[in-house]
Amino acid sequence: LIVAAYFLQEVKNLDKIDIHEHIKDIGQAERVLKIMDDLHIEKMVLLGTPSLTFHEKTDKFEKYDEHNEKMLEIKEKYPDRFSVFVTINPEDKDAAKKLENYSIRGASGLKLYHGVIPSLGHINSSEMYEVYENCKELNLPVIIHVELLNATQMEEFRRVIEDFPDVKFNCPHLCGSATRLEILSKLLDSYPNLTTDMGPWHRVGKYAVNNTQQFREFFIKYQDRIMFATDIVLDETWESDSLVREWFECGINLLEKKYFTCYKEEGRILEGLNLPTEVLEKIYLINPTKFVENI
């Protein structure tokens, strides 16, 4: 019966905005366009990304200016399909000026890596407060990596979202809360300027399929606060296009199906969230459009 249900249920092919992906260059973006068409991803938000995220052998936050430029070029060539969240290092003397220029040139928001690259420092440093102030003035939403299970990060971030109620924050991958969704619930209940996203598989999907009931209730309760993303890090090391496609399908199937398979969990039939259409429409389209006004 389970197997029959798995084969019968189709995805709904709803229009989607994907709020969080790392794409190395225009070659990889053009590769992903065909997959976006097939999966009804109308638009993808590309994040300015340091070289270490693309597995370059360094632990420093570097080569982000170059990557921002590459992403803005992609948006220029395909303005209907891609938007860009640039990244900056708040310790750069010209950080504020850079951000303003990026905004003028069409960047839709800012991505910060403070919770995942320790050398960048604290989430609530004075340099960071200047950046949040700039974002407020420029009306730029912020995607910032925060690990809620880290007590220091949690408290620093809580202060930031409290001190900047006019700045919209996406704390991605359910804020790193794994199965401790009650911690994220508290923040979402307290701060209306906070949203989250559901990528990547190893930070969200993997937990969701083993705690389906808990995650389904969470996604329904916070249907206005969660956005679609798969958080791929796409470069030439992905040899197979079909595997890239499957990566995105794992995320979509997780949201839509009652039973599905994903190559990340080989040999298993997984229990998905099987969310109602009106909830999917919010996660796929309505919430991202509210988060990024000039998407």
d(CA 293, CA 56): 33
CB of 49 to Zn ion, least distance (A): 8
Give the Cβ contact number of residue 275 at 10 Å: 21
Tell me which residue of 174, 171, 173, 94 sits closest to 131, measured CA to CA. 94
What is the smallest separation between the CB atom of 161 and Zn ion, expressed in angstroms?
19
Residues 159-178 that bind Zn ion (CB under 5 A): none
**Residue 231 C-beta: closest distance to Zn ion, Å:** 4
Q: Which of 197, 231, 256, 271 binds Zn ion (CB under 5 A)?
A: 231
Contact 248, 41 (CB under 8 A): yes
DSSP string, 228-244: -----EESTT---HHHH
What secondary structure letter does DSSP report for 59?
Answer: S
Spatial CB neighbours of 271, under 8 Å, sequence gap ≥ 6: 209, 212, 258, 259
Pick 147 or 271: Cβ nearer Zn ion: 147
Stretch that binds Zn ion, among 86-94, 98-106, 230-238, 271-279 (CB under 5 A): 230-238
Chain positions 120 to 149 lying near Zn ion, rule: CB under 5 A, are none
Residues 6+ apart with CB under 8 A from 13: 40
Work out whether 271 is an interface residue with Zn ion (CB under 5 A): no
Number of residues lying near Zn ion (CB under 5 A): 1
Q: How far is the CB of 116 from Zn ion (least distance, A)?
A: 8
Nearest residue to Zn ion on Cβ basis: 231
Residue 81 or 111: which CB sits closer to Zn ion? 111
List residues near Zn ion by CB under 5 A: 231
